[in-house]
C-alpha cells in the first residue's frame, strides 16, 4: 500500500523542451521589460509598490522560473484529491512521454505572478482534470481548460500555484464584460484589469514543443 502511494508524483504536466523553453523565457522577459516602460503601466505602479509615484522594477520584483511547464494535475505524491484516479487514467498512461505543441495565447502579470495562458487542443484537454476550474471559488462558470498556463515568474514569497488562480481571476473579470484599459503593442493588445492585473493577448500565438510527463522534485 505504501509503495503504491510513493509512485504517484508531485505533479503531471507538459514540460517545455529545448529550445522552446528558452524561446518562451526570452519572450516573457521582453514583454515584462516593455511593460515596465509603458506610461499606462507606470500610472498604476502603486499597485505593485503600495506607494503612489514610486516606480517598480519588474525584473527585480519577480524571480524567473528556470524550467517551464504547464501543470495538468497537482497530485502531491498521492495526497491531492483524485491523484490516484488521475495516475490510473488510461489517457494519462497512453500519453505519458508523448510530445505535443503548446499554444501560448497570452501573457499576464499581477503583483504576485507572471504567466502565459495556454490554449489546449481537444486531445490535450483529455489530460486536463475535470475539477481544475470548478474547485476554485469564482471560476465555476469558466470553460474546461481555462486554468491552463505556464508559470514564468513569482514575486518573493509567492507559491507557483498562485499563477493559475491569478489567470482565473482575470478570466472571470473578462467574462463579466470588464474590458479594461487597452494599449496596443507590437505583440498584441494589452489590457489592464485593476489591482495590478495586466494581460497581453498575443497577435501571434507562441508555439512550444512540450513533453507530457511528471515531476517528483
Q: Given the rule CB under 6 A, which of 15-23, 117-125, 161-169, 179-187 is the region that contacts ligand A2P? A: 161-169
10 neighbors 33 (Cβ within 8 angstroms): no
Nearer Cβ to ligand A2P, position 160 or 183? 160
The only residue of 4, 5, 159, 195 in contact with ligand A2P, by rule CB under 6 A: 159
Query: b or e along 190-217 (b: 16 or more beta carbons within 10 Å of the residue's beta carbon)?
Result: bbbbeebbbbbbbeebbebbbebbbeee
The only residue of 48, 163, 166, 170 in contact with ligand A2P, by rule CB under 6 A: 163
At 189 the three-state DSSP class reads: strand
Of 44, 61, 95, 149, the active-site residue reads: 149
Q: Is 95 a catalytic residue?
A: no
The only residue of 9, 164, 188, 196 in contact with ligand A2P, by rule CB under 6 A: 164
What string marks each residue from 59 to 98 as x (binds ligand A2P by CB under 6 A) or -?
A: ------------x--x------------------------
Q: Compute the distance between CA of residue 1 and CA of residue 169 in angstroms, rounded to an integer.
A: 39
213 neighbors 127 (Cβ within 8 angstroms): no
Of 44, 61, 69, 144, the active-site residue reads: 69
- Measured from the CB of residue 25, what is the shortest distance to ligand A2P in angstroms? 14
Q: Compute the distance between CA of residue 191 and CA of residue 141 in angstroms, rounded to an integer.
A: 22
Candidates 195, 178, 181; CA nearest to 39 is 181
Positions touching ligand A2P (CB under 6 A) are 10-11, 71, 74, 151, 159-161, 163-164
Amino acid at each position: 500500500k505504501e509503495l503504491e502511494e510513493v509512485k504517484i508524483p508531485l505533479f503531471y504536466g507538459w514540460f517545455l523542451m529545448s529550445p522552446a523553453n528558452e524561446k518562451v523565457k526570452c519572450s516573457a522577459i521582453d514583454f515584462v521589460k516593455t511593460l515596465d516602460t509603458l506610461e499606462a503601466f507606470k500610472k498604476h505602479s502603486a499597485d505593485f509598490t503600495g506607494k503612489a509615484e514610486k516606480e517598480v522594477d519588474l525584473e527585480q520584483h519577480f524571480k524567473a522560473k528556470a524550467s517551464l511547464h504547464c501543470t495538468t494535475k497537482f497530485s502531491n505524491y498521492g495526497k491531492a484529491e483524485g491523484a490516484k484516479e488521475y495516475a490510473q487514467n488510461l489517457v494519462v498512461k497512453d500519453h505519458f512521454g508523448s510530445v505535443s505543441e503548446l499554444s501560448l495565447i497570452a501573457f499576464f502579470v499581477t503583483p504576485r505572478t507572471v504567466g502565459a495562458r495556454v490554449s489546449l487542443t481537444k486531445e490535450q484537454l483529455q489530460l486536463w482534470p475535470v475539477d481544475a476550474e470548478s474547485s476554485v471559488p469564482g471560476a465555476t462558470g469558466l470553460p474546461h481548460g481555462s486554468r491552463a498556463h505556464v508559470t514564468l515568474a513569482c514575486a518573493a514569497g509567492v507559491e507557483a500555484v498562485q499563477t493559475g488562480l491569478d489567470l482565473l481571476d482575470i478570466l472571470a473579470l473578462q467574462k463579466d464584460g470588464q474590458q479594461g484599459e487597452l494599449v496596443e503593442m507590437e505583440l498584441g493588445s494589452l489590457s489592464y484589469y485593476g489591482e495590478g492585473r495586466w494581460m497581453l493577448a498575443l497577435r501571434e500565438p507562441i508555439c512550444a514543443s512540450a513533453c507530457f510527463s511528471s515531476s517528483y522534485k
